[in-house]
Structure 1
Amino acid sequence: MDAIKTVITSIVPMSDDEYSLMLPVINRMNVKKDSDLLQQGDICRHIYFIESGFFRMFYVDYKGNEINCRFAKPNDFLVDFASFITQKTAHYHCRAMEDSKVIALEYSKVENLYHSSPNWSKFGRLIAESAYLTIIEREEMLHFQTPEERYKTILKKEPYLFQLVSQNQLSSYIGIKPESLSRLRKRMTGR
């Protein structure tokens, strides 16, 4: 439980009393590999904090292709934020890529927590801003960078992905076909 406290108080410093307001609302869960925390079309009713494991967030396009848009590792929060804040259907799946442990925070309890103190309210705002910036950075990467620039950006910002995900998963995330990723990798490594 210390990891979530460290992450939360690094975002917004708060007293032990303020932090303890969250303790009654948490739900710890074990998640098996290939299980979904959320499915496209459901309503996202929880924010998840990843204690251990690895997840991918993806959607299924009109052709039936799974398009990866985010990966989440320990100490990350995972949520379909638009679905969570509107309580409308989700556009994304959140799937465990390995056996994992998460802390789930339910929507109504999180809303109450945000109203419990100015620091929790500030935390909610900062998490929302962070989620928005993550989405914008990804969108701008896909719109304004070449595949080679995207590859380099991911290599710099998320190098662990090259060890943890398959070439198909990585190519989907970068926004290119697997064979294009293979050629790009060969060109960049000089082989």
Structure 2
Amino acid sequence: MKNLIEEANLLDVLGFTIPLPSHLQSRLNEDILTQEFRRKHYLLRPGEICKRLYFVCSGFIRAYFIDQNGKECTTWFVGKGDLVISANSFFNQQPSYEYIQVLKNCKLQSLTWHQINALYAEFHEGNLLGRIFIQKYFINSEERSMFLRIQQPEERYDRVMSAHPDLNLQTTQTNIASYLALSRETLSRIRRKKISKV
């Protein structure tokens, strides 16, 4: 019973998004692959092609790239109930420029690029689900781009901590600072200020 409460399920999320006919549910049950990965495992590395779209049942994941100075630049964090994908690599089936790394032991469910395109071709509901999730992905991407450009450092910190309340327990301060486009020192000052107000 504990695992049912602590884990998300891709089929449940899809069914909550739109009603799924029984024949599509059966097909998804056949296609969905469930796997477990340990902390520090890489789902993707630069030069590899992202061949699967993952759904996080449990655990925590980040994506990052290495800049021209050799510095890790974290681009996103995802946890339970989120999708994991390197969009450019997956949709174009071309080599990735980023790493996707497991930060906390994960249980993931996934579909391949070929399976998803078959679902688009064979099921009207497959197309609708694809459109809904792609729209959500682009909205989230645009929001992140805007908050990095417009919001002040403390606002950025508050926003990411609201989205991931346990982030300090899931990853390093270096990764959090990188995601927020801040120095470690600036992040430390913000955290001290927040703690002093508690």
TM-score range, shorter chain: over 0.9
- Secondary structure of the structure 2 residue equivalent to 1:94: strand
What is the CA–CA distance in structure 2 between the aligned matches of 1:105 and 1:160, rounded to whole Å? 28
Q: What letter matches 1:118 in structure 2? A: H
Which residue does 1:16 correspond to in 2? 22
Aligned match of 1:155: 161
Question: Does the alignment pair 1:77 with 2:76?
Answer: no
> TM-score, with normalisation over the residues of structure 2?
0.89
**Contact 2:103-2:170 within 8 A present in 1 as well:** no
Residue 121 (1) aligns with residue 127 (2)? yes
- What is the aligned counterpart of 1:175 among 159, 178, 181? 181
- Of 24, 32, 43, 2:38 maps to 32
- Distance in 2 (CA, whole Å) between partners of 1:10 and 1:91 is 33
| Percentage of identical aligned residues | 25
* Residue 48 (structure 1) aligned with residue 54 (structure 2): yes
If the length of structure 1 is used for normalisation, what is the TM-score? 0.92
> Is it true that 1:140 corresponds to 2:182 in the alignment?
no
User: Which blocks of at least 5 consecutive residues in structure 2 are unaligned?
Assistant: 1-6
Cα deviation, residue 79, structure 1: 0.4
Which of 42-51 and 153-162 deviates more? Answer: 153-162
Q: Which amino acid aligns with 1:95?
A: Q
Aligned counterpart in structure 1 of residue 72 of structure 2, from 66, 69, 82: 66
**Superposition RMSD in Å:** 1.7
Does the 8 Å contact 1:45/1:106 carry over to 2?
yes
Taking the aligned partners of 1:45 and 1:157, their CA distance within structure 2 comes to: 27
Per the alignment, do residues 48 and 90 of structure 1 end up closer, same or farther by CA in structure 2, a change over 3 Å counting?
same
Q: Distance in 1 between matches of 2:164 and 2:39?
A: 21
State the shift of 1:29 in Å.
1.7
Q: Does structure 1 retain, via aligned residues, the 8 Å contact 2:74–2:178?
A: yes
For 2:122 and 2:144, locate their aligned partners in 1 and report how far apart those are by CA, in whole Å. Answer: 33
Unpaired runs of 5+ in structure 1?
none
Q: 1:152: Cα distance to partner?
A: 1.6
Letter matched to residue 97 of structure 2: H
